[in-house]
Every structure is written in C-alpha cells, then in structure tokens.
C-alpha cells in the first residue's frame, strides 16, 4: 500500500511568513488575516516532492507540515 502525503498548516503556529507560498504558489492560500491555509482539494499528494520538503523546511514557525498517511 502506498502512502498519501497530506499537507497541514497549524493555524496556531502560522504567523504569515509566506515562505511556503514561494514553494507552492498554486497550493497555499491566505485568509483575511494573512494566515496560510491549504484548501481541502489541494491538500493531498501521491508523492513527497522537493517543493513540499522545502516548504516545510523553510517555515520558521514549523507550522507547515506534511504527514504521510497509509
Ligand atoms: Fe505560515 Fe509558515 Fe507559511 S508561518 S505562511 S505556514 S511559511
């Protein structure tokens, strides 16, 4: 069975730095207060990509996470 990679942005941690947007411009969106979120229909990927890794690694608040689900 292969994993699905689900993007999660922890709204309690996100401070709106927008570094995730630089790596995933077609995936990340922002609410009216400037905090990032990922629409449900864009939150799952079949594989872990460099862009996902970079977005997670470059979030200063560790709010951007990618979780492997079976
Ligand atoms: Fe928020 Fe981190 Fe992106 S603080 S806007 S999830 S880089």
pLDDT digit string (tens) for 21-52? 999 999 999 999 999 999 999 999 999 999 99
Q: Name the residue range of residue 41's domain.
A: 4-69
Other CB atoms within 10 A of residue 12 CB: 7
Ligand 1 contact via 56 beta carbon (within 6 Å): no
Ligand 1 contact via 61 beta carbon (within 6 Å): yes
pTM over 0.75: yes
Pairing of strands 29-30, 4-9: unpaired
User: Distance from CA of residue 42 to its chain's centroid?
Assistant: 10
pLDDT at 70: 84
How many structural domains compose the chain?
Answer: 1
The domain that contains 26 carries what CATH number? 3.30.70.20
Ligand 1 contact via 11 beta carbon (within 6 Å): no
Compute, in angstroms, the gap from residue 48 CA to the centroid of ligand 1.
Answer: 19
DSSP string, 16-67: ---HHHHH-TTT-EE-TTS-EE--GGGSEESS--HHHHHHHHT-TTS-EEEE
Ligand 1 contact via 45 beta carbon (within 6 Å): no
């Amino acid at each position: 069975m292969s994993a699905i990679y689900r993007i999660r942005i922890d709204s309690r941690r996100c401070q709106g730095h927008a570094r995730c947007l630089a790596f995933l411009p077609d995936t990340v969106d922002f609410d009216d207060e400037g905090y990032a979120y990922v629409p449900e229909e864009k939150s799952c990927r079949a594989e872990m990509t460099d862009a996902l890794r970079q977005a997670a690694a470059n979030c200063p608040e560790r709010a951007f996470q990618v979780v492997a689900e079976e």
